[in-house]
Amino acid sequence: MKKKVDIAVATDPIKNPYDIIEYAKDLQELVEFLHCDIMDGKFVNKKSLDAEFIKLLNSQTALPLDVHMMVSEPKTKLIDDYIDAGANIITLHFEAFKDKKQLLQAFSHIRQRKALAGLSFKPNTSLKEIRSYLFYVDIVLLMGVEPGASGQTMKEQTFERLKKIAKFREDNKLAFKIEVDGGVNDENAHLLFELGADILVSGSYVFNSADKDKAIKKLRK
């Protein structure tokens, strides 16, 4: 069976949180995930979407919630707050943890709570640094841009990094899904898919499209 790409639309371009609810409702028949960008104002400059809002969002949409935590040193209670609110995926940043043992403990805890554990990392973080952590996650979120700002152009190095992660997965017979976030559009989606991406996150590309249905179909092609 031919593999298909899943599409996640991101919350970040939307300034009014309550517009996110309508956006999710409008697109829930067209995409597979709602990618919820959680920012604490420390790890990145912006701040957005607390657990109470995610709980409200979860009550209003049938879309699985892909929660991307751009948060410094997220504690177990904070992770639990988002899982209790309805998060299906919790993705943590490699750089957010000074003590990497805590990162591994967080992955284990997320899985114990029956959510999927994801690892993300910034474009300038070496793949050698994160390789050993790929054995403990369900999702690898490859950032094509610096986290924290929607609308950036994807960095050229993203394609080679994706290729290497996909090869590492194959060589080690691992089953994690590869998700790409940042600068995804109809011009690069096909190549990302061919290089091994399973989930493509679209923020500005879909949100700013006059015909969102058509834009999503272009990503799938």
Enumerate the active-site residues.
37, 181
According to the 3-state scheme, what is the secondary structure of 155-190? CCHHHHHHHHHHHHHHHCCCCCEEEEECCCCCCCHH
